[in-house]
Chains A and B, each alone.
Chain A
């Protein structure tokens, strides 16, 4: 016992009291974590091997849910749609956010005003934004096709067209990159001026400074945000649900939409839990992939090269 106390640095009564206070104080979070996170995770893992309709008790079916999922065309369609969405919204959004942050980081007049303008769309509720963009995407008289018409382009039917509904939602996602702009802006301001001065003395051009100072110094921030954006994009639900209900012809059947339909419209809770765990594994896998690749393109100051 005394060995354990020494090992845990709890020999003095004061230290013991402090440790006790710690656990009392974090109790709310710990209970919440156990009840609303740890237990649900294990429960859904269990449910994913059962057939469960919320009314009768779960019935163990082994791997049957996963077998059914892998042979379900809706699953593959939803996976394709979601990955394509992530593939469009994440790099596009990152580029737009980076470009705008880069511009704002220069000593322009009214940076705060610009920042407000760019940030504002990202705080709005996805439903209100969806309502707005459903009007903008109207084929005949919507704002977007009208603007395209000014430059002589006949715009597509957007949300009504199987081919263009997903790109429309990707464009919509770019509208809400304000949060990323703010983060990149802060990251850019955090780059020491000394590095730029040193580069200037070496005769570096603007491009060279951008390529060899800005990008490496900002890469940890970019990396972190790309990871967050991927996780967010793979779990997108509101847009597809409100604007198209997955249509036309499942062209915008996002993964979460498919999961929602299975869980809360067909009450196939076991099947839905299996879907959730597959998504969880996919997200973990992609995140791991990005983290692994980060060794190549993310530069940490403490690193020795």
Chain B
């Protein structure tokens, strides 16, 4: 368009726009904004899956697919109960914008009651006109509220108190209940004495309760709900064990901001809170057991009877050695003819271990009496071997009330498990040990490395000589063969797949590694082409001197060309590694014995077997299968890039 035909003002505006549009500042800003936006999108797409995978390989199975996601591998936080091997789960709760770590110390069930003295305006409603109850919170009171569609067209919110005569319900309007309801712990309500309460013509089953010194009559109307009583984690260090028989009920008492059922322990002062009742096992350290255990005939022992050793009740007896004085022994394993015993004063390490904290059982024998040894995890780091002694028993874990700090109620859905980041390599260890088609991952790695080595040798031996011939020697037909060489680089492999299978079958090489490396000894078009390009850049003059000295072609190659071509040969090695490591279809077709599988085929089998069970193992196995490739990539990225550029850029 001819600019001069436009009115002058438009021209001025346009030229200003032109100046702005072509100004360096504007263009650079735009360019950088667009660039970084594309980079951000690109790296999110490329990097995000990778990071997720690496992170997930260090997670336990359950953390891999969670809602909301757990990005960094976590470990549940625990606290140890006293000096024992028991771990207590630590939880996290947010109260008044403050996040606290707590442990659970009990449950409380709550219900809504009506103060009978304040109950008024009872009505009788036909059951058909009243809807089902839903728990609703009104003015801070939780009630089982029903909708009553009365016959005169009104809808009332009511609470049903009892069944009346002739299919009716005795109800009361929620507005009449204001101020008459209380939310009380169920155990408090149940501790009141039962009473029959008469209001009007209806009698209700209620209870007499004493609250703040006043006795009132209440009717429990529900709904019931459950709250978790939690306390500060330092409670855990004061826990001790008590036999259930020694506990006596001591009623409810205020603890912190809540109330808990308390107990007393026989022969002990003070009141206690019961945290749990679980199975504990008497054990003795394996060293002490091995050093001091005695096998004695039953005839030299008195009848077994309970005795207390280190505060633990186990079977004991008095043993009379030949020509010696009798002394008390603890029976570790009792047999019909003889028993394994230990002198009471030598059983210094006898203690109770939480059954859940014992693992990896091993059997052992002393004089054909079998006993079991397990590992006791005492504090996350130290592990000791212990011999199991006597029968496991139920023990109560209690804490003195005086040690309980900060006890309060929370709704269970407010509690979240306390966690801290932790890298776990269990996935890797398990993946290496998991059976895949009757074999294991290390075998697949071995096979892949064998194939890589053989293919590398084959390619180096064959490609260098062929490439040298194409680069240096003159012969009729050379160009013809070079064009064929280039042509084969683009040939689709499916065309030759079936006959090649046939050839190796005829050679009796199916289900051996031969088909997967033999052909590399006959060169590879791409690698030959790449080496030829590289050799062509080496000055001919270097060879002339050697040729005049009478060196033959092979000597020239070994002495002059190969030493100068280390980068190109490195590229050959790396590309061979790459292709061999990642090839899937050929090994899959040629191999049927799992012990010959390379990593790619092994991983495929692993996925088939475990893709829905062991996410952690499968992801760890994938990461491991990538690891050698990635390691080589980081060390030799230059050769990758040079080789790729050579294939991709038409010369």
Chain A residues within 8 Å of B, Cβ to Cβ: 8-10, 15, 18-19, 21-23, 25-26, 28-33, 35-37, 39-41, 43-44, 47, 54, 96, 99-100, 103, 106, 108, 114-121, 123-128, 130-136, 138, 141-143, 146-147, 174-175, 178-180, 182-183, 186-187, 190, 203, 205-206, 220-221, 224-225, 228, 231, 234-235, 237-238, 242, 256, 259-260, 263-264, 269, 272-273, 275-277, 279-280, 283, 287
Contacts and interface: CB of A to CB of B under 8 A. Distances in A.
Given A126-B582, A127-B625, A30 B481 contact: yes
Contact of B502 (A35, A43, A116, A125): A43
Interface stretch (B114-122, B378-386, B642-650): B642-650
Interface of B: 21-22, 27, 30-31, 34-35, 38-39, 42-43, 45-50, 52-53, 56, 64-67, 69, 461-462, 465-466, 468-470, 473-476, 478, 481, 484-485, 488, 490-503, 505, 519, 521-523, 525, 528, 553, 578, 581-582, 584-585, 589, 599-601, 603-604, 607, 611, 615, 618-619, 622-623, 625-626, 629-630, 633-634, 637, 640-641, 644-645, 647-650
Contacts of B497: 259, 263, 276
Contact of A100 (B38, B494, B645): B38
Given A119-B637, A125-B584, A15 B492 contact: no
A259 B462 CA distance: 32
A179 B644 contact: yes
Given A37-B496, A132-B49, A135-B615, A18 B473 contact: yes
Contacts of B601: 127
A183 B648 CA distance: 6
Nearest to A209: B27
Nearest to A34: B522
Contacts, number: 277
6 tightest A-B CB contacts, nearest first: A32-B522, A183-B648, A40-B499, A22-B475, A25-B469, A19-B475
Contact of B649 (A32, A44, A134, A187): A187
Contact of B492 (A116, A190, A203, A283): A283
19 contacts: A10-B476, A22-B478, A25-B466, A32-B522, A32-B523, A36-B503, A40-B496, A44-B498, A96-B42, A100-B42, A106-B35, A120-B46, A125-B581, A143-B48, A183-B649, A238-B584, A260-B585, A269-B502, A279-B494
B648 A33 contact: no
A178 to B, nearest CB: 8
A18 B471 CA distance: 13
Most buried by B among A123, A220, A225, A280: A123
A181 B649 CA distance: 12
Contacts of A39: 499
Given A26-B481, A44-B495, A44-B496, A114 B519 contact: no
B537 to A, nearest CB: 17
A77 B27 CA distance: 49
Contacts of A186: 641, 645, 648-649
A127 B603 contact: yes
Contact of B485 (A29, A35, A43, A273): A29
Contact of A242 (B469, B604, B648): B604
Nearest to B56: A135
A44 B500 CA distance: 9
Nearest to B625: A128
A5 to B, nearest CB: 10
Nearest to B39: A103
